[in-house]
Structure 1
Amino acid sequence: MPELPPSATSQSDAILATKTGRFISFEGTEGVGKTTAIEQLCARLEQKGIDYICTREPGGSDFAEQLRNLLLDPATDINDDTELLLMFAARCDHLQQRILPALAAGQWVICDRFTDSTVAYQGFGRAQGDETVLAKIQGLIEAFIPRLPECTLWLDLPVAEGMARAGKRSAADRFEQEAMAFFTRVHEGFAYMAAKAPERIVRIDAAGSADEVSARVWQALAV
C-alpha cells in the first residue's frame, strides 16, 4: 500500500521554529469519546491561558458546514468519489478560512478529525483499503493540504464498545447508519495510519472514565 499521508515531521519542525500555534487533531471510530476529551482539553488550555480555537471536520467554516450537512444527511445519495471530493472541498475551505489563520496568529487549533479520517472512512470503510483509492487520497493531500497536524491523538476503543456508546446518542447520521463491518474497516484504517506515521499519531486508550482518558491526552501533549 502507498505511504499515507506524507510524514508531518518537517511541518511540525516548521511550526515549532516559527513559534506559531500548535495544530492538534483527534481521531477515532464512533463513540470513543472524542467530544468529551476535546472539551476537557479546551478547558485545560483556558486554565493555562493558552489561546486556541476548537473546530471540526467535515465543517469548521461556513461553506464547509454546508457541505457537512450534505455529507451527514441520510437522504444524500452520492457515490464514493463524490463523497471523497466533497470531503476535500470542505477541508480546503476550512484550512484556508480558519486553521491556517489561527496558526499564523499563534493560536492552538484543536480539530475533531482531519485527513486521517478520510483515509479511515473513505479509504478503508468505503474502499476496503484499495490501493488506487488510497493513492487518490494521498494525491489530494499532497495537492491541497499544505499542513498536517503536528500531533494526532487517536482515541482507540474496541469497535463494538464504541458503537454501543454511539447508539445511546441522537438519531444516527449518514455514516453512523453503516454496519459494524464498515466500522471495523475504519478502525483498521486508523491502525494503518498509526503504523505509517508513528512520529505524529499517538494512540490513546479510550477505555475508562472521561477523566482518565483526558489525563492520557494531557500527558501526550505535555499540557
Structure 2
Amino acid sequence: MVPLAAIGDIHGRADLLETLLARLEPDLQVICVGDYIDRGDRSADVLRILQSSSDIICLKGNHEEMLLNFLEQPETYGRRWFRNGGLQTMASFGIAGLTETSPDDRLRTARDALVKAMGGPLIDWLDGLQSGWRVGNLAVVHAGADPALPLDSQPGHVLRWGHPDFMTSPRRDGIWIIHGHTIVSAPVIDQGRVAIDTGAYASGRLTAAIVNDGDIRFEST
C-alpha cells in the first residue's frame, strides 16, 4: 500500500492546511476527509487550494453537501446551512448582509451571488467529489459507516453524515476506517476507527493520520 496521510476537517482554516501540507513527506498520498468549508474565515481559499491540487484526493463531507443543497434550493436549505457555518463561507466569497432569518428572496439573491463568485468549475468539482476511498483493509470516509453493511453497499449520506451505530459497534470485516466529523480533543484509535477531527477551526489543531506499512502515527498543527 502506498503510504498515505488522511487530513481531518479543515473548516475554513487555509492557514492550517498550508502549514500541515508543508510538513508532510512528499511521497505520501494525501486524502482529505471533507468539511473544507464553514466556521473558519477562509473557506474560499481552502476550496481553491484543494481544487488546484490534483494529487490530493478530496472526499465530500456533510458541509459540502449543505452548500450544494443551498445552491439547488436556497429557500429550503439556506437557513440550516447558515446556522452551521454557512455565513462564514458566504463572507469568504465576498457575500455579506445575511442572517439565519433572511427572507426567501434574499436567499435566492445570495445563491445567485455565490454561484457567480464560485464559478462553474469549482461548483462542478465540489459536486463531483466522492464520499469514500478504500485500499485493502483501510477506508477513509467523512463521518462514518454502517457497521452492519459492506463498505461497497453504504449509502452516500451515511458516509457524509454518519450512522448511529458507527461509534459503538465495531466492524466484523476487519476494515479500519479513518474519519472526521466527530470532534475529539486528540486523535483516537479505537476498535477499527481512527478519529482525526480535532476541531481545527476553534482549536488550531488540524490533524493528519499517516499510515505506512500498517503503522499509524499523527501529525498536527
Bigger proportion of residues as strand: 2
Please indicate, yes or no, whether the TM-score normalized by the shorter chain is above 0.5: no
Larger of the two Rg values belongs to structure: 2
Provide TM-score, normalisation by structure 1. 0.30
Larger relative CO (CA 8 A, sep 6+): 1 or 2?
1
Given the two structures, how large is their TM-score scaled by the length of structure 2?
0.30
